[in-house]
């Protein structure tokens, strides 16, 4: 962080300092040891921070990240870390981020791409296939899921389905297969390690309605529900060359399914940025972190990110939704609301937001850059968005462009100070 940025932040911080202390949510963002302050100072604004490209790059902290987070904490600004990362628990993610930047991040502040699944109680008692890596069974069990299988379970139950790797294609033949009930839904939580196995077995389940013991005469007209977390096509880590993300796996799955069946793969719900369900959950968590945990105090949000196609597009899309919901956008509000909401099917969720606006802030330490002197292009960036995301060029343009997280926090505190005068 530059001397100037640090000096400005130190000047602005006392304006917002109060007795706020973070307290855990009692429902979705549960913390077994909440510590509410007897003198809670409720803020009317909150901050959503992306992680990769904003606070860290791979294993390394971005300069100024720790100091910027300290200023938000000293100013008692409720903060949530809204990331498309996943395949780990919120506790693991918070601990890893804390270690890398040297600043304590609480578990209840983490909203990963799959965290909103806590709200999906209509899925919790179904037999669900999980695709991803890491301890995804334990993660979903903590969310309330009671019957889950992963791709390895399917391989053991149907040992002749996975034929690609010759070294392991017959390894389960001499083992009594586990009897699995039909799979009732599929959760795509993140990119798997063995793409070919996951692609094959997921499509097997889709074309057989979850029971791949026999070949169907024709694919079902409606396949079992598919819920996806994180549709990012690419991301940037410590190497500047873009890496394939979960969206690349989804593109492969969609293409193969359509090639095989002649039909489109249909997603019941998409989670993560830029979809509305994740912003709904983030609003809930911000309210839980804002003093008393009561909703209704936060009126505006700032979303800081490095990716125009997820962080910025999602924040601007959510702002459009909020404008229409609160009836401030003028004519054709009903049609605009429907169009804004089309980014997420909201199959299980009825969001009644109390936040009224979101301002997007792009930092130039990660994936994207933006030339403020150029109008938003009609096609630029559309190819990086997921197939089901309707592209609008103006939603890909940030409200503010700054160099790094330090300047972003400086901008937020200065703007809030001026608006309160």
Average pLDDT over residues 383-399: 91
Average pLDDT over residues 288-303: 81
Contact (CB, 8 A) for 169 and 163:
yes
Beta-carbon contacts of residue 95 (< 8 Å; ≥ 6 apart): none
Residue 104 is predicted with a pLDDT of 97
Average pLDDT over residues 215-244: 89
Residue 293 is predicted with a pLDDT of 58
For tokens 């600043």, the residue is: 103
255-281 tens-digit pLDDT: 999 999 999 999 999 999 999 999 999
Average pLDDT over residues 57-81: 96
119-172 tens-digit pLDDT: 999 999 999 999 999 999 999 999 999 999 999 999 999 999 999 888 888 887
pLDDT above 90 covers a percentage of the chain that reads 66
The four Cα atoms 320, 289, 104, 305 give a dihedral, to 10 degrees, of 0
Lowest mean pLDDT among 84-88, 217-221, 334-338: 334-338
| Residue 84 binned pLDDT confidence (cut-offs 50, 70, 90) | very high
Residue 295 is predicted with a pLDDT of 65
pLDDT above 70 covers a percentage of the chain that reads 81
Lowest mean pLDDT among 14-23, 27-36, 206-215: 14-23
Query: Higher confidence at residue 298 or residue 18?
Result: 298
| Residue 60 binned pLDDT confidence (cut-offs 50, 70, 90) | very high
Q: Is the dihedral of CA 255, 260, 262, 268 positive or negative?
A: negative
Distance of CA 216 to the CA centre of its chain: 35
Residue 126 is predicted with a pLDDT of 98
| Residue 247 binned pLDDT confidence (cut-offs 50, 70, 90) | very high
Q: Could you count the other beta carbons within 10 Å of the beta carbon of residue 354? A: 14
Contact (CB, 8 A) for 282 and 111:
yes
3-state secondary structure of 79: strand
Residue 155 is predicted with a pLDDT of 93
Q: Edge-to-edge strand order for the sheet containing 400-402?
A: 110-111, 79-82, 45-49, 300-305, 357-363, 400-402
Beta-carbon contacts of residue 214 (< 8 Å; ≥ 6 apart): 208
């Amino acid at each position: 962080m530059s001397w100037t940025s640090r000096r400005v932040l130190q000047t602005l911080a006392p304006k917002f300092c109060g007795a706020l202390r973070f307290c855990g949510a009692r429902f979705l963002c549960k913390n077994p040891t909440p510590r509410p302050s007897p003198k809670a100072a409720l803020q009317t604004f909150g901050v959503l921070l992306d992680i990769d490209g904003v606070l860290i790059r791979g294993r390394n902290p971005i300069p100024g990240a720790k100091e910027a987070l300290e200023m938000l904490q000293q100013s008692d600004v409720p903060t949530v870390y809204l990331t498309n990362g996943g395949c780990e628990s919120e506790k693991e993610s918070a601990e890893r981020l804390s270690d890398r930047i040297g600043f304590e991040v609480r578990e209840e502040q983490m909203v990963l791409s799959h965290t909103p699944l806590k709200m999906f109680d209509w899925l919790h008692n179904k037999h669900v296939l999980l695709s991803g890596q890491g301890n995804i069974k334990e993660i979903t069990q903590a969310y309330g899921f009671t019957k889950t299988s992963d791709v390895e379970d399917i391989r053991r139950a149907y040992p002749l389905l996975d034929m690609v790797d010759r070294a392991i294609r017959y390894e389960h033949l001499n083992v009594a297969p586990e009897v699995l009930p039909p799979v009732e839904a599929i959760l795509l939580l993140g990119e798997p390690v063995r793409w070919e196995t996951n692609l094959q077995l997921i499509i097997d389940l889709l074309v057989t309605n979850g029971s791949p013991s026999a070949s169907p005469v024709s694919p079902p007209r409606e396949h079992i529900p598919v819920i996806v977390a994180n549709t990012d096509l690419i991301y940037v880590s410590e190497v500047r060359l873009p890496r394939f993300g979960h969206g690349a796996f989804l593109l492969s799955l969609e293409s193969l399914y359509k090639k095989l069946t002649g039909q489109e793969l249909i997603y019941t719900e998409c989670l993560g940025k830029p979809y509305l369900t994740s912003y709904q959950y983030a609003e809930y968590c911000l309210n839980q972190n804002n003093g008393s945990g009561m909703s209704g105090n936060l009126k505006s949000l700032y979303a800081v990110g490095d990716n125009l196609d997820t962080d910025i597009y999602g924040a601007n899309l959510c702002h459009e939704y909020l404008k229409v919901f609160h009836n401030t956008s003028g004519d054709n509000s009903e049609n605009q609301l429907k169009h804004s909401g089309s980014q997420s099917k909201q199959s299980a969720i009825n969001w009644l937001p109390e936040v009224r606006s979101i301002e997007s802030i792009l930092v130039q330490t990660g994936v994207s850059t933006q030339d403020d002197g150029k109008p938003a292009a009609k096609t630029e960036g559309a190819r990086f968005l997921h197939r089901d995301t309707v592209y609008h060029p103006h939603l890909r343009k940030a409200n503010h462009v700054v160099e790094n997280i330090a300047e972003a926090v400086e901008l937020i505190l200065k703007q809030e100070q001026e608006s309160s005068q």
